[in-house]
Structure 1
Amino acid sequence: MRKHEDFRNSEFSDFDSPARGRMRRGRFDDDPQPQRSGRLTEAEKARLARVRDDAYTAEQELPDGAARWSTWADSEQGPHPRPDWLVTDLAAADTELGVLKTGKEADVFIIERAVPDGPSCLLAAKRYRSGEHRMFHRDAGYLEGRRLRKSREMRAITNRTSFGRNLIAEQWAVAEFSALSRLWSIGAPVPYPAQRDGTELLLEFLQDEAGHGAPRLAQLRPDPDTLRELWEQLVGGLELFAVEGLTHGDLSAYNILVHDGHLMLIDLPQVVDLVANPGGPEFLARDVANIAGWFRSRGLPEDVADPATLTEKLLVTAGLD
């Protein structure tokens, strides 16, 4: 009996021992596992919590009228500090309330994100069209200075393959979300970018007291004092863009909202990096000329809304002159 006990305590493996010829072979998962301290890391705790939350949510039925559960957890999330009104609870559901705007490159919907019997908020859901339907007009100049790490992706974009067109669509969404996040963080007049999930952006919905979307600058006929105030707001906003080395890229009175008396610049997928894009200064000059022309057409004196003077000022702010 003693000999058997000694053998069991020996260092022979299952395959080394002749006395165990009929024993099972080691399975693929019998390999030694890495040593652990017995405690979960913070990342593992977060992952397990996500799994539990997702499993719980999957078992629930969507509230009446809701299109989906909140996509917050799986998205690229907006900058801190997050506004108090934003609902980030994973138990929230999204309900589409209607179409706010349609366009060649993207459609914008109004979404209510609400926790059943709890808090809610309104968001503008901007959804870029698929590569098969988008027109991608005039995109070559805007894409200058934007580079992807994979050469295959760059070739697909250059050749405008189906895969490449879809990459461009996502590039627009990524560029807009990134620019909005940077600009909002320094106090620029842009809506809060709540999240990005693929080619969908969820943004702060700017509305008037009646709950309607804030009007575009082009719809207004401001009096002289208000016009001058709005121009000064615009100059301040463009200076903040220049601080970040950016220009809107397609600025006009149709891409500016007036919310509670304050200008808010929207529609930034074609935002241009003034340094990385060789045509950056030209895009800036065009932006300024377009919007200054609108203000002059509404009665602002030419010596106030002088595009050459403002362009030079912004180039200096951006460190390019």
Structure 2
Amino acid sequence: MAGEFIEETEGAPGDEWTDIDVSDDEVDRITRRQDRAFESFLKRMKDADQLKVQDGAFDDATFAALYKLVQDGHLAAFGGPISTGKEANVYEAAAPEGDDVAVKVYRINASNFQHMRDYLEGDPRFEGIRGDKKAVVLAWTRKEFANLSRAHDAGVRVPEPIAVQRNVLVMELIGEATDPAPTLHDVTLENPGTAYDVVREYMQRLFGAGLVHGDLSEYNIVVHDGELTIIDVGQAVTIHHGNAAEFLRRDCENVASFFARQGVETDADELYEHVTDVEADPSGDAGE
């Protein structure tokens, strides 16, 4: 099915993305060096009340990644959890200029990443590392940062990516830590037809930038200050992925079904045709 829209835009895999390097970096060197400044930071973080209940979610290398993000000027203070999951936790944090940001921490020792297989197979960035859980997690985190960057550059409203380090992703906080932005599923839409038009446009812009969300529904579109924001783009695949068309059709069915329940006249096939009726740019240079 992917050939329906890949045939005319297919290029060499290397043209789509920069290589993802999962070899030892400064974070690994920090953990080996264990200098006094890092040891002090490590003790403060391990003593923090909001991290004590995480049951080993953080290893020393994850703390080192946070330390490096502080050193690089992306984080100034670390707050409590916004959401927790089997594979990642999201925390509130403060940037040096005082703005609140979201910090997503993927668990290196997560017990089950099997569900990622459908999204990883066929992606040249993951060749040779599928049996290495650490490498998969590190690459997946960088993939989410890359997906956010590409979507943001294409004019799609997503959390703006700020920085990535190892298994830690820093991005814009949508809503407030104490009052997270609700999903479409949790609100009553005053004008569902307008909301549907916005989602259609975002899906087309994503496709124009060479991306398919792959898990789009009313549960990962949030509403804040009158704007719709698409979240959870870690699993998004490029249009060259072997299952891209299947994933896009599923996205279209989910979106069309939700808005049909809101009284909007929708059709999943028509939505699919609309989304793909644009010249896709697999190089990632698509603008707004």
Judge same fold: TM > 0.5, yes or no.
yes
SS in 2 for 1:168: helix
Conservation of the 8 A alpha-carbon contact between 1:180 and 1:192: yes
Structure 1 position 104 matched with structure 2 position 65: no
SS in 1 for 2:263: coil
1:147-186 deviation per Cα after TM superposition (whole angstroms, max 9, x unaligned): 24xxxx73441xx3xxx12211122211110011111123
C-alpha distance in 1, partners of 2:276/2:102?
A: 32
Percent identity of paired positions between Structure 1 and Structure 2:
30
C-alpha distance in 2, partners of 1:134/1:315?
A: 37
Structure 1 position 189 matched with structure 2 position 157: yes
User: Residue 93 of structure 1 corresponds to which residue in structure 2?
Assistant: 76
Q: Residue type of the partner of 1:261?
A: G
Q: In the TM superposition, what is the alpha-carbon distance from 1:110 to its structure 2 partner?
A: 1.0
Alpha-carbon distance change, 297 to 179 in structure 1, aligned in 2, over 3 angstroms:
same
1:101-130 deviation per Cα after TM superposition (whole angstroms, max 9, x unaligned): 11222111111234xxxx311111111111
Conservation of the 8 A alpha-carbon contact between 1:123 and 1:202: yes
Structure 1 position 169 matched with structure 2 position 169: no
Say which of 247, 250, 256 aligns to 1:292. 256
Q: In the TM superposition, what is the alpha-carbon distance from 1:244 to its structure 2 partner?
A: 0.7
Structure 1 position 253 matched with structure 2 position 218: yes
C-alpha distance in 2, partners of 1:172/1:279?
A: 18
C-alpha distance in 2, partners of 1:228/1:124?
A: 30
C-alpha distance in 1, partners of 2:117/2:221?
A: 24
1:182-226 deviation per Cα after TM superposition (whole angstroms, max 9, x unaligned): 111232111110110111111100116x96221111111213xx2
Larger radius of gyration: 1
List aligned pairs for 1:29-108, cutoff 5 A: 58=37, 71=69, 74=72, 88=73, 93-96=76-79, 98-108=80-90
C-alpha distance in 2, partners of 1:184/1:156?
A: 28
> TM-score scaled by structure 2?
0.70
Conservation of the 8 A alpha-carbon contact between 1:95 and 1:112: yes
User: Residue 136 of structure 1 corresponds to which residue in structure 2?
Assistant: 113
User: Residue 101 of structure 2 corresponds to which residue in structure 1?
Assistant: 123
Alpha-carbon distance change, 173 to 191 in structure 1, aligned in 2, over 3 angstroms:
same
**Which stretches of structure 1, 4 residues or longer, exceed 3 Å deviation after superposition?**
65-70, 153-156
- Which structure is higher in RCO with an 8 Å CA cutoff and minimum separation 6? 2
Conservation of the 8 A alpha-carbon contact between 2:95 and 2:101: yes
Structure 1 position 199 matched with structure 2 position 167: yes
C-alpha distance in 2, partners of 1:185/1:232?
A: 20
Q: Residue type of the partner of 2:159?
A: P
Alpha-carbon distance change, 299 to 190 in structure 1, aligned in 2, over 3 angstroms:
same
SS in 1 for 2:93: strand
Q: In the TM superposition, what is the alpha-carbon distance from 1:95 to its structure 2 partner?
A: 2.2
User: Residue 185 of structure 2 corresponds to which residue in structure 1?
Assistant: 218
Say which of 262, 279, 285 aligns to 2:243. 279
Say which of 148, 154, 179 aligns to 2:127. 154
> TM-score scaled by structure 1?
0.63
Conservation of the 8 A alpha-carbon contact between 2:151 and 2:209: yes
C-alpha distance in 2, partners of 1:176/1:249?
A: 13
Long gaps (5+) in structure 2: 1-35, 49-65, 282-288
Long gaps (5+) in structure 1: 1-56, 75-87
Structure 1 position 267 matched with structure 2 position 255: no
Say which of 255, 263, 268 aligns to 1:307. 268
Structure 1 position 232 matched with structure 2 position 193: no
Q: In the TM superposition, what is the alpha-carbon distance from 1:73 to its structure 2 partner?
A: 5.2
C-alpha distance in 2, partners of 1:134/1:121?
A: 34
1:281-314 deviation per Cα after TM superposition (whole angstroms, max 9, x unaligned): 111011111121111122222xxx2110111222
Alpha-carbon distance change, 204 to 300 in structure 1, aligned in 2, over 3 angstroms:
same
RMSD: 2.6
Q: Residue type of the partner of 1:154?
A: E
C-alpha distance in 2, partners of 1:269/1:290?
A: 18
Conservation of the 8 A alpha-carbon contact between 2:200 and 2:275: no
Conservation of the 8 A alpha-carbon contact between 1:109 and 1:126: yes
C-alpha distance in 1, partners of 2:273/2:279?
A: 10
